[in-house]
């Protein structure tokens, strides 16, 4: 059992919700497809992993990405390649306050997926 994949849950997640599902979902919800650090599959996985670990926080989830975990869900974003992703959650929280619609859409997608 690795830190990336507790008890094979990541494998189960990837089998149950393949990448093509998220591509269709983006088309259906008219989401712009951009190169992002936090892609839809990654955001949903981080939400699942937070639920599996009672002590997990937003900071814990972001720290996983900073440590480049889980590799199979990470995009080929320039900041990930260069290792310059910040572990500070302030910008994520501020974006949530400034653009609640963006967070609602992500939450709706995550809930719909699960």
Give the SS3 label for residue 89.
Answer: coil
Of 51, 52, 46, the C-alpha closest to 6 is 52
26: its two tokens: 């983006």
Distances (CA, A) of 64 to 72, 96, 104: 13, 20, 23
Q: Where are the domains of the chain?
A: 6-113
How would you write the pLDDT of the chain (114 residues) with one tens digit per residue? Answer: 455 556 688 899 999 999 899 888 888 888 777 777 888 888 888 888 888 888 888 888 888 888 888 888 888 888 888 888 877 766 555 454 544 455 556 656 665 555
For the question of whether the overall pTM of this predicted structure is more than 0.85, the answer is no
Give the pLDDT of residue 1.
Answer: 43
């Amino acid at each position: 059992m690795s830190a990336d994949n507790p008890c094979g849950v990541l494998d189960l997640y990837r089998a149950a919700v393949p990448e093509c599902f998220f591509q269709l979902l983006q088309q259906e919800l008219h989401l712009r497809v951009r190169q992002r650090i936090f892609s839809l599959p990654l955001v949903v996985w981080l939400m699942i992993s937070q639920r599996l670990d009672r002590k997990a926080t937003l900071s814990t989830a972001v720290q996983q990405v900073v440590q480049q975990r889980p590799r199979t869900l990470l995009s080929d974003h320039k900041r990930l390649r260069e290792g310059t992703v910040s572990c500070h959650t302030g910008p994520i929280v501020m974006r949530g306050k400034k653009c609640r619609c963006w967070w609602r859409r992500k939450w709706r997608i995550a809930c719909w997926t699960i």
